[in-house]
Structures are given as C-alpha cells and as structure tokens.
Amino acid sequence: MDFELSEQQRMVRDMVREFAAEQLRPGAGARDESGEFPHEIFKELGGLGLLGMLVPEELGGAGMDALSYIFAIEEIARGDASVAVGVSVTNSVCQWPILHFGSDELKRRVLPALARGEELGGIMLTEPEAGSDLGSLRTSYRRDGDRFLLNGAKAWITNAGVARRFVVLATRDAKLGAKGVSAFVLDAEQPGVHVHQPEKKMGLRSSKTSMVTLEDAVVPAGDLLGEEGQGFRIALATLDHSRIGIAAQSLGIGQAAMDEALRYAKERVQFGKPIIDHQAIGFRLADMNTELEAARWLTYRAAWLSEQGVRTTRSSAEAKLLASETANRIVALAVQVHGGYGYSREYAVERLYREARVTTIYEGTSEVQRMVIARALKELATTAPA
C-alpha cells in the first residue's frame, strides 16, 4: 500500500491550491451575493488546463490521471464551490462520456474547444417528473434522415445558458424503458433549445442552473454516443465516474469550513482563553477533522480504483455518500463554533453552510447512493477486503 503522491499529482494539487487561495477564495462571497457567472475565472481555468483535465493532450486536454483530477476539484471547491460545480460538469459528465463513448470524428470535432475552455459543457438527465427515477424520463427523440430531433423538458441543468455542448438522454419510446434510451451530444446554440430563467438557488449562486426545453432540437446522426439504446448504460457509467468528483467537491467545502472554524476558534476568546482551549470546542474540531480525513481517503481510493480501470459503482457511491454527509455535518458544526457570527453573511461559514447542502442531492441523493450500495452488497458473499 502506497499513500505517496506522484510528482505530477503533487504539482497539480499545489498549483490549484495556490490558484484557489489567491484567485477564487477572496471573491467567493461577492460572487455569491451578485450571482454573476464568473466568465473571466473560467477563461483562466481554461488557460491552466483545468477545463480539460481528463482529455488526452492530442485532443487539446491536460491528460491528467483520475487522482490529479480529484485533487483539483477538491482545491477549487475549497476556494469557491460554485466554480467547482461548473468545472466538474464540464470535465466529468460532459467530456468523459464523449471521450469514452463518442466516435473518433466526434471527439476530434468537439473535445478540443471544450478541453481548452473555449466552450463549456454539461449534462441533461433530470426532468420535471424524472429525478431519482431516471428510468421514467419522457424527453423523446426520432430519426429524421441523417439527424435526430429531440423534444421535451430538462430540469436543473447546470451551465445552461453558458455552455455550448450537453450530453442529453432521450427515449425513442417511453414504453421500451431503459432499452429505449439513447445518449446524444447536443449543440445548445440552435433555435430548438430554450434556456429558461436561472433557478433562484440556496447556494452555488454564481453557477447557472435552469430548466431547458427542447423543440425539435437537431442532433446530427454522428453525435449519438455509443449505439441507440445504450444511453442508460452510458449515463450510469458516467455517474460512477462523476460522483467521485462530487465527493471531492464536498471535501473542498468541508475543508474550507474546517479552515474557518479552526482560525476562529484560535482567535475568539471567551472565559479568558481562546475557545479552542475549551475542551468541548477542541474535541468538536478533532471530530470534524477526523471525519473529513476518513471521507477524503475513501474518495481518493475510489479515484485510484477508477484509474486502475476497475468499475467503481459501489466505491463511488460510498465516497459520495460519506463525503457529502460529512461536509454537511462539518459546515453545521463550523457555524456552531462561530456562535452568532456564524449566522452572519460577513463570515464565510454562512455561505459554506448553504453550499454544502446540495452535495447530498445532486448526481444522486444520499438515498439513491444507499440504494446503489445496497444493490451491490446483495451480490457479495462478504464485504471483507480482498
């Protein structure tokens, strides 16, 4: 067993940590207030290779390994979780399935601009009536010569209005169930794609999330991922990969809250001494840090397994479940450590408390992660490590 990072992994982590501390954290509160999408920051991220981390260099990407990617998302989220979600969806739920299931021609045509950050990406799975139960999706497609036409409504789409390419799931016939579902790469810059007003969210306020309706939205036949009928399988494989990224985002939010709580506990004096020296606060910080470390190493292990080419369905779900639930406990305790000041917008923990909330909801709620884990356990004779 080797916990050492490679030279490249250490370089990526240190570079992104410095960038996040200098360029992301200082403005995160102001961006939360304004709700403006930070186009300039995304340009800088593109220049650093952080918008095409998993794409090979010959297709314009940075060609990083899965662990480097996870370190980068964690550090970006530690600086600004709103930026991290935009980076995560571009890299993972958009570029990853194109890279693994797209034709060579599609990859050469769409990946370089995405990987260089000239265009952003996203995914359209959720619908108003199909969230956790993705199998009940209703967005339809039909073949029309050398193209497909898509119709329906997609809900809660991150990067809608700012991204150009979206992976979209649609069904040929809802009666066919999962077998009828295909995955497409949609160019959002066309008349058949209507982006609604951004949702008024609790947190991640500078990330744009909207309902999108598709009215005869055109997808060229070559922009189908895999084969017709494979869409569900492609979505599940993508989520196996991308949930590790949401676990990393949760770690970053948890670490930011830990940083704030520790700093405050050393500075704030009550009953004649810094509150960290009151055992109740010291022990609370000890528990918070221990839980965060446990979630961190489960997440890194899932990323390492993914890098070995192992199918990580259960490991990804376990990492996402533990990291997101831990982040939510840590932000709540960090507010408590701040007392009344934790309830003020003047202090970062108030924002972190709101930002952590969504991590147990998107890319599969905690209940869905438990369903995935329980299903995998049913297949096992023992859970003892191999």
Q: Which residues are catalytic?
A: 363
Report how many residues bind ligand FAD under the rule CB under 6 A. 22
Closest distance between ligand FAD and the C-beta of residue 237, in Å?
15
| In the complex, least distance from residue 167 CB atom to ligand FAD, rounded to whole angstroms | 9
The 106-125 site mask, x for binding ligand FAD (CB under 6 A), equals ----------------xxxx
CA gap 142, 159 in Å, rounded = 26
Nearest of 199, 189, 192 to residue 155 by alpha carbon: 199
Kind and range of the H or E run holding 190: none
Q: Is 369 in the site for ligand FAD (CB under 6 A)?
A: no
Give the x-and-dash track for 203-222 against ligand FAD (CB under 6 A). Answer: -x----x-------------
Q: Is 133 or 287 the residue whose CB approaches ligand FAD more closely?
A: 133
Is 337 in a helix, a strand, or coil? helix
Nearer CB in complex with ligand FAD: 23/92: 92
Q: Which of residues 284-323 bind ligand FAD (CB under 6 A)?
A: none
With beta carbons less than 8 A apart as the criterion, state whether 265 and 340 touch: no
Which candidate, 36, 74, 33, 69, places its Cα nearest to that of 51? 69
- Window 130-189: residues binding ligand FAD (CB under 6 A): 131-132, 156-158
| CB-based closest residue to ligand FAD | 131
Tokens 């147990």 correspond to 360
In the bound state with ligand FAD, the residue whose beta carbon lies nearer, of 252 and 276, is: 252
> 10 Å Cβ neighbour count for 59?
20
Span from 8-16, 324-332, 339-347, 359-367 in contact with ligand FAD (CB under 6 A): 359-367
Tally the C-alpha atoms within 13 A of residue 66's C-alpha that lie toward its C-beta: 21
The footprint of ligand FAD on residues 71-90 (CB under 6 A) is: 89
Residues 6+ apart with CB under 8 A from 365: 132
The residue to which tokens 């492609």 are assigned? 234
Degrees to nearest 5, angle at CA 146 with 104 and 182:
65
Which residues of this protein are in contact with ligand FAD, per CB under 6 A? 89, 122-126, 131-132, 156-158, 201, 204, 209, 358, 361-365, 367-368
